[in-house]
Structure 1
């Protein structure tokens, strides 16, 4: 089950093939809860602990694989995994977020978009923090950057 935690840390970097393998493994362990976040959340039969953090929930959403950590621990995750504060909260699920782009050598789908490790917490996550490997395609990234720029200009 530690493969799910590895995937949230982009170990190895996100790929559709890797996501499919992990999704199929999760399907064998639990039935998904699809009631919130527009995601499939699988409650694992046993907790996974690493680096002082605990999770028992794996999340798959669009091009994201993650784990829901117990508690609001985005600050601690950011410190441990060298993430920097996000400027955008466009998607609304988080009120506090951190991220780090993977180095160029680990951007396996660079022609289509970029892969980051993210940590986000907020009311929608109900006392949990999402730690995930997230692929954002080039068009979505460009739209988010334009929205951020427009929001900054309105301040």
Structure 2
């Protein structure tokens, strides 16, 4: 093989692996919204650090940092190009009002706490099994899907950590 052919092949392989690596990294964001791996402060920090390398956060909502990435990195027919960090949650904004579809795809159940004080028009959740709860004595990690006026025309799919104290306070506010 000539040096010119070798350099051309190397450039093609480099570009191919480079875009595969980028696609893999973006797919990792969608996986993280599904609590894969289970939420920990270390995994959330890693996702945040990676997002910071790829885009600048939109902080206009004051309650969430939204990162718009180039290109779709959704899965299973769900399109997304936006990451969300809000409180102790990490997720993606799925295009369209798709909470019902996300609930079916990821075995989520209706979550009355998610619609607290009108914050969500539709709310679904599924707590991770006890073996995947990083700090069950402090709170619960769940996969959630919510439609809300805060994200018009989009649905939040996220891995969410709620402290036991916050969960009890939300239940009391709803009279449960």
- TM-score category of the 2 structures, normalised to the smaller one: over 0.9
- Output the TM-score relative to the length of structure 1: 0.93
RMSD: 1.2
Change (3 A) 1:67 1:141: same
Structure 1 consecutive aligned stretches of length 4 or more whose deviation exceeds 3 Å:
none
Counterpart residue number, 1:133 = 159
- Alpha-carbon distance in 1 for matches of 2:146, 2:117: 11
Counterpart CA distance in 1 for 2:40 and 2:77 is 27
What is the rounded CA distance, in whole Å, between the counterparts of 2:117 and 2:61 in structure 1? 14
Which residue of structure 1 aligns with residue 120 of structure 2? Answer: 94
Instruction: Tell which deviates more after alignment, 53-62 or 28-37.
Output: 28-37
Could you tell me how far apart the structure 1 residues matched to 2:117 and 2:67 are? 22
SS at the partner of 2:70?
Answer: strand
- Mapped to 1, the partners of 2:82 and 2:117 lie a distance apart of 21
Unaligned runs of 5+ in 2: 1-25
Q: CA 1:91/1:68 → structure 2, altered by over 3 Å: closer, same or farther?
A: farther
Q: Is 2:55 the counterpart of 1:49?
A: no
The structure with the larger Rg is: 2
The CA deviation at 1:144 is: 1.1
Greater relative contact order (Cα < 8 A, sep 6+): 1
Judging by fraction of residues, say which structure has more helix: 2
Q: Say which SS state the counterpart of residue 36 (structure 2) adopts.
A: coil
